Structure 1
Amino acid sequence: MRFRIDLKIFLFLILFYFTKQIETYVIIIVFAIIHELGHLMAGLIMGMKPEKIELMPYGISISFKLKPKDYNKKILKANLLEIKKILVAIAGPFTNLLIIIFATHLKIELFSNLIIIYANLLLILFNLVPIYPLDGGRILKGILHIFLGKRKAERYTNSISFIILIILTFIASIGIYYMENISVFIITIFLWGLYLKQDKIDRNKNKIYDLIEKTIEISENK
Structure 2
Amino acid sequence: MKLLIIEDEIKTAGFLKKGLEENGFSIDIAEDGGIGASLARQGDYDLIILDVMLPGLDGWSVLQALRRRRDLTPVLFLTARDNVADRVHGLELGADDYIVKPFAFSELLARIRTILRRGPLRQAATLQVGDLEIDVQRHRASRAGCVLDLTPKEFLLLSLLARRAGDVITRTLIAEQVWDINFDSGANVVDVHMHRLRAKVDDPFAARLIHTVRGIGYVLEDRSRR
Q: TM-score, normalised by structure 1?
A: 0.25
Q: TM-score, normalised by structure 2?
A: 0.25
Higher helix share: 1
Larger radius of gyration: 1
Higher strand share: 2
